[in-house]
Amino acid sequence: MNRRHLVAATAAALVAGAMPAAAQTYPARPITMIIPFAAGGPTDVVARIVAEAMSKNLGQAIVIENVAGAGGTTGSTRLTQAAPDGYSIMIGHTGTHAASVALYPNLRYNPVSDFAPIGLVNTNAILITAKKALPANNLTEFVAWLKANERTANNAHAGIGSVSHTTCLLLHAIIGVKPQSVPYRGTGPAMNDLVAGQVDYLCDQVVNVAPQVRAGTIKAFAVAQPQRNAALPDVPTTAEAGLPAYQVVVWNAMLAPKGTPDAIVTRLNQALVAALNDDGVKARLAELGADLPTGNLATPAGLRAFLEAEIAKWTPVIKEAGVTASN
Ligand code: MLT
């Protein structure tokens, strides 16, 4: 061994020595990924696409466990109770890890300090959608219909504090209505009932909406962001459709329990970044209208700062809109 090789080998031994023994062989068995909503919904769909690519990179299966309930806070609480060994991770989102702070006075976890952030996965546009039989054909007609039918109109959502709940509450605050609320265990089942005409409308993420709009099974009145979504180019923005004040974009984030060793978080982040750079993953997410993270958001430090900023952003928005878990 020459001197250069000896230095390299010594450095590698020092790095390995600094790592906990379990991190050196990680992952040695399948990893469980908690999805805090029902199967078939937007969080689940994105998670399965990304988990498949990550498991190839890690050389171990990633087993999806749907732990739905209480707007995603049941599954999030479950992760905080798991061993911090890299074999339990989750996908949280704007609801579970930002809006929940203002909506749940007795939230059983701190969305930042009880977790080890791995990286942001994607962002999702929100669309205002309705059942096909609803007698409104654009956003202006929908707002007029909602005002006229406030007492009987029913709004499907994925439980208190979920994205579909919070984003429609903001819409209601802008319009000045308080319709009936119909909670589900995720917007997968809520969307099934919207398609079947059992509920009137839903504020949902583009990945759940795009396939249905393309199939012509529901109506989409507007996308709540400044530019149209490439997956649904015919759907106007809320500004184009006459409600510029309604702007909201949501996100999915990958997290481990607090105390997960840094070396394992780094390995999971490498697998996440590789998955997000995979051409097949990019194409599948683009087809569903999801956007990839920018800047340093796909890093553990970037996600931690982002979570803190999102909690600071959402808390006053929810309070100023007069939105509570009982709206
Ligand atoms: C889901 O996956 O069902 C959704 O993300 C729920 C929600 O609206 O927050």
Gap from CA of 109 to ligand 1 centroid (Å): 19
Residue 210 lies in a domain: yes
Q: Is residue 271 domain-shared with residue 231, that is, in the same domain?
A: no
Answer yes or no: do 40 and 134 share one domain.
Answer: no
Structural domain ending residue among the three candidates 204, 221, 241 = 241
* Residues of the chain scoring pLDDT < 50: 1-17
- For ligand 1, whether the C-beta of 169 sits within 6 Å is no
What's the rounded Cα separation, in Å, for the pair 290 and 142? 25
The domain tally of the chain equals 2
* pLDDT number for residue 4: 41
Going by alpha carbons, the residue nearest to atom 2 of ligand 1 is 43
Q: Say whether both 234 and 311 belong to one domain.
A: no
Domain interval for residue 226: 125-241
Give the pLDDT confidence score for residue 322 in this predicted structure. Answer: 76
Q: pLDDT tens digit string along 35-74?
A: 999 999 999 999 999 999 999 999 999 999 999 999 999 9
Q: Is the CB of 159 under 6 A from ligand 1?
A: no
Distance 24 CA to ligand 1 centre (A): 35
Q: Examine the domain organization and report whether 118 and 155 are in the same domain.
A: no
Last residue of a domain, one of 199, 222, 241: 241
Q: Is the domain of 270 the same as that of 196?
A: no
Residue 247 covered by a domain: no
pLDDT at 167: 95
263 C-beta closer than 6 A to ligand 1: no
Say yes or no: CB of residue 43 within 6 Å of ligand 1.
Answer: yes
Examine the domain organization and report whether 269 and 215 are in the same domain: no
Q: Determine if ligand 1 sits within 6 Å of the CB of residue 186.
A: yes
pLDDT at 9: 37
Q: What is the pLDDT of residue 24?
A: 84
Distance 309 CA to ligand 1 centre (A): 21
Answer yes or no: do 94 and 173 share one domain. Answer: no
The CATH number for 210's domain is 3.40.190.10
What is the distance in A from the centroid of ligand 1 to the CA of 37?
6
Q: Which of 219, 241, 263 is a domain's end point?
A: 241
**From 34, 35, 43, 74, mutation site for ligand 1 pocket: most ligand atoms within 8 A of C-beta:** 43
Rounded Cα gap, residues 242 and 86, in angstroms: 47
pLDDT of residue 8: 38
Task: For 162-185, write each residue's pLDDT tens digit.
Answer: 999 999 999 999 999 999 999 999
Residue 295 covered by a domain: yes
If you measure from the C-alpha of residue 64 to the centroid of ligand 1, how many angstroms do you get, rounded to a whole number?
15
- Give domain status of residue 246, yes or no: no
- The finding on whether 76 has its CB within 6 A of some atom of ligand 1 is no
Which pLDDT does position 19 carry in this prediction? 66
Q: Which residues pair with 34 in a beta bridge?
A: 65, 90
Q: Residue 79: phi, psi to the nearest 5?
A: -65, -35
Residue 76, domain member (yes or no) = yes
Domain co-membership, 112 together with 147: no
* CA distance linking residue 306 with residue 159, whole number of Å: 24
